[in-house]
Amino acid sequence: MIFISPQLTFTPSKIVSLVPSITELLSYLQLEEQTIGITKFCIHPENWFTTKVKVGGTKTLKIEKIKELNPDLIIANKEENIKEQIEELGEKFNVFLTDANNFSEALLLIRDIGIVTGKEESASALIEKIKSAVPHFNSPNIKVAYLIWQNPFMVAGGNTYINSMLSVCGLKNVFENQLRYPEISVDEINKYDAEYLLFSTEPYPFQQQHLIEYSSLFPGKKLLLADGEMFSWYGSRMLEAMYYFKNFRKEMK
């Protein structure tokens, strides 16, 4: 059974998480014993990464391995996992299919994970902590472009969680009128009036050396490295992101 809101009539004791940020949230909610399988990209927390059973990548799931674990709950994500694989798993197991395209929906996701795993009180407390930590800036709406890939360059457009988190960080995405993650040429990027180009550390692992390499391509633009986990992970990472944003903005002189 595939469901998109908490519908279980029992508290699961054998959970497989197919989403790195949700795996981190399950740890925050103290569900270590209940979580029996994760993906190879679930790198947080480190002790889970080194000890939990790996069930493949987020888009390359090892279906037979998951069947061997015989979970009573699988947590998946509409964007991060492959539809056909989730449908196959849904024929045999309870699959909670999550989705979050903005800050508010991500808070609801935390609530729903808390409900479905029997950790509603802890999840509600986390939500309140995140809300109270939301930063406020004297100079909001600094124009930026957020790059997630190279060869070709791709940016975060509107209707994405990243776009929403840029707004929380007091930044205005110059590509917010484009959907999802469009491919963008160097000329197109230069035509827009972004003051800063933010190069994310994931999914493409941009590093400082890339900023040096690209500086000549984007005259008049300021290039900064952005922690991709802070801008794109849901769950408990959102609390850390609120404090990261405060320090990140200090780099934007």
State the DSSP H helix or E strand holding residue 123, giving kind and residue range, or none if neither.
helix 120-133
pLDDT tens readout for residues 83-96: 999 999 999 999 99
- Which domains does the chain carry? 2-132 (3.40.50.1980), 142-250 (3.40.50.1980)
Span 144-185, pLDDT tens digits: 999 999 999 999 999 999 999 999 999 999 999 999 999 999
Residues 6+ apart with CB under 8 A from 142: 170, 171, 172, 195, 196, 252
Q: What is the DSSP letter of 58?
A: T
Q: What does the pLDDT look like over 175-213, one tens digit per residue?
A: 999 999 999 999 999 999 999 999 999 999 999 999 999
Q: H/E element holding 26?
A: helix 20-28
